[in-house]
A and B are shown apart, each in its own frame.
Chain A
């Protein structure tokens, strides 16, 4: 059966982002015990794969690169209906930028799902939001990629008609053969997890692999393999008046008009 691979990124739950901090020296994100959730767009990617499974009998493999404590997050993908999950997890992989991340995920896919027909990603992650990983995975695997995918028609399950949303226009593409697709939220509505799924997920294979397991070139992973660096962080300079106005609606409205008038705005 053809195989779809879904790249899933566990991200710190956006509800707790006020607890995130950055290591001022390395610029690496300190996640500080915040629970992780599946990056929301990745669920839309998974839904595409699950529909291929429902309609054409495809197999669905989930891959991820993340710290080991995120296995529970991957269980959720299994509960939604994926068949198996692989997590690349290793200290050596820490501090990776998008290039090193894509290289690692591509290595994982080469090792564990070399006969993939389709790789699906969310078009961006809520936390990093670079949108760079999917095209870079495609490069490392030597297959084409389509991003900003807002619609996929599976037709016969062999030829796919894909809409790329360019904002000012749409490109409609047709493709057969292995490809990487990065989807937007317009593409579908992901299914919810039910109790049967959760029970089934407990028995599904979830394997954690180290860098050594993946035959990776150590100079291309983690911080060493990342060409970009965070030089420093700064608070944007604030040259604003910051005059606070309080009181009853009528008073504050009057006061605001006066101040705007003073600065020549009204």
Chain B
């Protein structure tokens, strides 16, 4: 559409810490901009120096619009909405991407409403249609479908995108400019008043970057059975994940929930036990190299999208699987004349088998 040009990314930050999702989106915006010969814009609001803003250029931005003000270090929805809308109205980008995080989900709808444009939520992919219109891929309606959402007539085309769906680009030596934007905010833009910012203790979850993920679903049945997953994960040097119902049951902490509203994982091997395979969960694991499913219901939808599907009771198959893996491990160790690693001595990575040769 006419004078709307450029792919923009809102760079989320919390108290000065830039979130990965903004950088991931810069990578995607770069790809889309290169395909259509336009530029990438990064919108950075916070208490930042120009030098800090410049770092975004190395992640793919051509222009960084910097709104720097001490009051912007903390998120205020009205102030942020006002400044983002101001920049968009002035510069007219064709698209604006925002992370589908709580902050992004708070900001994006209000920005879209003020700009009277469309917004799609929790996208898992973005691509350009043949007509140049941005296609926003959203997992569909609790089912096994994906919906392609477009915003044909209004600009910018806006989408919130799940963290982790696009890889974070490697920083490169690139040229670009930082544009300092005027910050005009009043007390009225700073309500509701923030009285405290409480950083939560950041647990690095073993799931991030794990090469093996063992995931349990509601079909695991109990906290006791859950131990089987922990044991298998230790044996394979992997991490344990969970579906929403399993988290709701209290078998696993919220941080390890995988899927549309949890984590997106990219392991080499994913094993799902007692998991039905509803799309909300599957979108979080579909980049796995190999998917193994253990489910007692031969009609479970997960069997349609797996590599190896075991029809059986997970509480019986897992102990057998674990037993046989241990046997193999022992044989390998006997053969190499090294001691069998003890289960409770922390993760044992099968990759290290060959080390002593």
Q: Enumerate chain A interface residues (CB-CB to B < 8 A).
A: 14, 17, 20, 22, 27, 29, 97-99, 102, 126-127, 129-136, 138-140, 144-148, 161-162, 164-175, 179, 226-236, 238, 240-247, 249-250, 252-254, 256-257, 259-260, 263, 265-266
Give the residues in chain B near A250, CB-CB below 8 Å. Answer: 320, 324
Evaluate contact between B143 and A97: CB separation under 8 angstroms. no
Give the number of residue pairs across the A-B interface with Cβ within 8 Å: 240
Evaluate contact between B110 and A138: CB separation under 8 angstroms. yes
B124-157, CB under 8 A of A: which get 1 and which 0?
Answer: 0000010001010000111111111111111000
Measured in the bound complex, the distance between the Cα atoms of B284 and A201 in whole Å is 43
Measured in the bound complex, the distance between the Cα atoms of B108 and A228 in whole Å is 15
Measured in the bound complex, the distance between the Cα atoms of B198 and A233 in whole Å is 41
Evaluate contact between A20 and B142: CB separation under 8 angstroms. yes
Cβ distance B259 to chain A, nearest Cβ, rounded Å: 12
Give the residues in chain A near B173, CB-CB below 8 Å. Answer: none
Evaluate contact between A20 and B116: CB separation under 8 angstroms. no
B269: contacting residue among A127, A132, A265, CB under 8 A: A265
Measured in the bound complex, the distance between the Cα atoms of B303 and A250 in whole Å is 20
A169: contacting residue among B149, B154, B200, CB under 8 A: B200
Cβ distance A12 to chain B, nearest Cβ, rounded Å: 9
Give the residues in chain A near B151, CB-CB below 8 Å. Answer: 227-229
The segment from B58-66, B88-96, B187-195, B335-343 found at the interface with A is B187-195
Evaluate contact between B320 and A161: CB separation under 8 angstroms. no
Measured in the bound complex, the distance between the Cα atoms of B321 and A247 in whole Å is 13
Evaluate contact between B307 and A147: CB separation under 8 angstroms. no
Measured in the bound complex, the distance between the Cα atoms of B328 and A253 in whole Å is 12
Evaluate contact between A263 and B102: CB separation under 8 angstroms. no
Cβ distance B341 to chain A, nearest Cβ, rounded Å: 16
Evaluate contact between B321 and A242: CB separation under 8 angstroms. no
Evaluate contact between A235 and B113: CB separation under 8 angstroms. no
Evaluate contact between B116 and A233: CB separation under 8 angstroms. no
Measured in the bound complex, the distance between the Cα atoms of B150 and A232 in whole Å is 9
Give the residues in chain A near B319, CB-CB below 8 Å. Answer: 249
Given contacts A20-B142, A171-B74, contact A245 B309 (CB under 8 A): yes
Measured in the bound complex, the distance between the Cα atoms of B191 and A162 in whole Å is 12
A20: contacting residue among B119, B141, B196, CB under 8 A: B141
Measured in the bound complex, the distance between the Cα atoms of B200 and A172 in whole Å is 13
Measured in the bound complex, the distance between the Cα atoms of B14 and A73 in whole Å is 40
Evaluate contact between B153 and A227: CB separation under 8 angstroms. yes
Evaluate contact between A233 and B122: CB separation under 8 angstroms. no
With CB as the reference atom, state the residue of chain A lying closest to B306: A240
Main secondary structure of the interface of A (DSSP, over half): mixed
Closest 10 CB pairs of A and B: A227-B118, A228-B118, A253-B320, A175-B192, A130-B121, A132-B109, A139-B113, A172-B196, A135-B109, A173-B192
Measured in the bound complex, the distance between the Cα atoms of B313 and A167 in whole Å is 35
B197: contacting residue among A169, A229, A260, CB under 8 A: A169
Measured in the bound complex, the distance between the Cα atoms of B106 and A133 in whole Å is 10
With CB as the reference atom, state the residue of chain A lying closest to B145: A233
Given contacts A242-B304, A257-B328, contact A236 B146 (CB under 8 A): yes
Main secondary structure of the interface of B (DSSP, over half): mixed
Measured in the bound complex, the distance between the Cα atoms of B75 and A259 in whole Å is 51
Give the residues in chain B near A242, CB-CB below 8 Å. Answer: 303-307, 309
Q: Enumerate chain B interface residues (CB-CB to A < 8 A).
A: 14-15, 74-75, 77-78, 101-103, 105-110, 112-114, 116-122, 129, 133, 135, 140-154, 191-200, 202, 260-261, 268-269, 286, 290-292, 298, 303-313, 316-317, 319-321, 323-325, 328, 350
Q: List 5 A-B contacts (CB under 8 A).
A: A20-B142, A127-B142, A129-B260, A132-B109, A140-B113
Given contacts A144-B78, A234-B146, A265-B290, contact A129 B324 (CB under 8 A): no
Measured in the bound complex, the distance between the Cα atoms of B260 and A132 in whole Å is 16
Given contacts A173-B194, A174-B192, A242-B307, contact A230 B148 (CB under 8 A): yes
Given contacts A22-B140, A136-B112, A253-B323, contact A98 B119 (CB under 8 A): yes
Measured in the bound complex, the distance between the Cα atoms of B268 and A265 in whole Å is 8
Give the residues in chain A near B199, CB-CB below 8 Å. Answer: 168-169
Cβ distance B151 to chain A, nearest Cβ, rounded Å: 5
Cβ distance A168 to chain B, nearest Cβ, rounded Å: 6
Measured in the bound complex, the distance between the Cα atoms of B304 and A244 in whole Å is 10
A256: contacting residue among B75, B106, B292, B298, CB under 8 A: B292
Evaluate contact between B291 and A240: CB separation under 8 angstroms. yes
Cβ distance A182 to chain B, nearest Cβ, rounded Å: 9
Given contacts A161-B195, A230-B147, A244-B303, contact A147 B308 (CB under 8 A): no
Give the residues in chain B near A139, CB-CB below 8 Å. Answer: 109-110, 113-114
With CB as the reference atom, state the residue of chain B lying closest to A162: B192
Cβ distance B229 to chain A, nearest Cβ, rounded Å: 15
Evaluate contact between B102 and A230: CB separation under 8 angstroms. no
Measured in the bound complex, the distance between the Cα atoms of B135 and A132 in whole Å is 19
Measured in the bound complex, the distance between the Cα atoms of B121 and A136 in whole Å is 13
Measured in the bound complex, the distance between the Cα atoms of B293 and A243 in whole Å is 10
A245: contacting residue among B106, B147, B310, CB under 8 A: B310
Evaluate contact between A229 and B112: CB separation under 8 angstroms. no
Evaluate contact between B328 and A266: CB separation under 8 angstroms. yes
Evaluate contact between A169 and B311: CB separation under 8 angstroms. no
Give the residues in chain A near B268, CB-CB below 8 Å. Answer: 265
Measured in the bound complex, the distance between the Cα atoms of B112 and A130 in whole Å is 13
